[in-house]
Amino acid sequence: MNEAGRRWLKVPAADYDGHMGLESVGQTQKLSRIFADLLQQHPPKKGIAVLGCATGNGFEHIPNDKMVRVVGVDVNLNYLHLLKERHGERLRWLETQCCDVLRCQFPEQAFDHIHAALLFEYTDPKAVLEKVRQWLTDSGVLSVVLQHPSKAVGTVSDSPFPGVKILHDVITLVPPDEFIALAEGAGLTMQSREHVPLPQGKAFEVLVFKPA
């Protein structure tokens, strides 16, 4: 696991959830809404994997269909416990994998939707994209949310929650154009791209890819 992953192990779930939910940060609701829209546009029929799923923001939008495999992946076991507590009753077949996404093992073509929101800032995008391509069915989609680089604001928003401050020097924002080039190199073609403004001058870039 890289240093960023190790730092995430030290961020208490309460600080993470509290920080993301702050009105000034405004990320929890936005990310949940974005995931809901992506699920509506690309409903999984075989399986969905959510990489860097944290405590399960947005899982309430995953369809309740026992024919569809649902997997949440994260390095932080406490987050995954909360995810199970919050969503395990509705999604009884929900699986969690506590591992570095680069060490995860899934069969080829296991999923027809893979979602990763604000994960690529903490890991090696090229290596993850190569794995994702193998896990996706030929008609599947990868949906990605990146934090848009901005000169005007810091990478980790100001917050009264002390736990998140240890992330400020391990976050590496990936410019969307660079990410698209890496995805193309891994055998994925961009299908759509959307710029989503946030409070404090930040923005997300929402990208959807299909196998080339």
Ligand X SMILES: C[S@@+](CC[C@H](N)C(=O)[O-])C[C@H]1O[C@@H](n2cnc3c(N)ncnc32)[C@H](O)[C@@H]1O
Rounded least distance, CB 52 to ligand X, Å: 3
Residue 203 interacts with ligand X (CB under 6 A): yes or no: no
Residue 151 and residue 211: Cα distance in Å, rounded?
A: 33
Residue 35 and residue 44: Cα distance in Å, rounded?
A: 12
Would you call 188 helix, strand, or coil by DSSP?
strand
Stretch that binds ligand X, among 53-61, 106-114, 133-141, 187-195 (CB under 6 A): 53-61
Q: Characterise 205 by phi-psi region: left (phi > 0), alpha (psi -120 to 50), beta (else).
A: beta
Closest CA to 116 of 31, 42, 43: 31
Residue 47 and residue 68: Cα distance in Å, rounded?
A: 5
Closest CA to 87 of 75, 104, 70: 70
Residue 152 and residue 203: Cα distance in Å, rounded?
A: 11
Partner residues linked to 188 by β-bridges: 211
Residue 123 interacts with ligand X (CB under 6 A): yes or no: yes
Residue 73 interacts with ligand X (CB under 6 A): yes or no: yes
Convert residues 4-43 into a mask of x (bound to ligand X by CB under 6 A) and - (unbound): xx--x----------------------x------------
Rounded least distance, CB 1 to ligand X, Å: 6
Residue 100 interacts with ligand X (CB under 6 A): yes or no: yes
Cβ–Cβ < 8 Å for 122, 171 = yes
Q: Closest CB to ligand X among 154 and 189?
A: 154
Rounded least distance, CB 95 to ligand X, Å: 15
Using CB under 6 A, pick the residue from 19, 62, 70, 79 that binds ligand X: 79
Using CB under 6 A, pick the residue from 120, 122, 161, 179 that binds ligand X: 122
Rounded least distance, CB 152 to ligand X, Å: 20
Residue 54 interacts with ligand X (CB under 6 A): yes or no: yes
Using CB under 6 A, pick the residue from 49, 57, 164, 182 that binds ligand X: 57
Would you call 171 helix, strand, or coil by DSSP?
coil
Residue 58 interacts with ligand X (CB under 6 A): yes or no: yes
- Taking residue 66's Cβ as centre, other Cβ atoms within 10 Å add up to 9
Q: Which residues bind ligand X (CB under 6 A)?
A: 4-5, 8, 31, 52-54, 57-58, 73-76, 79, 100-101, 117-119, 122-123
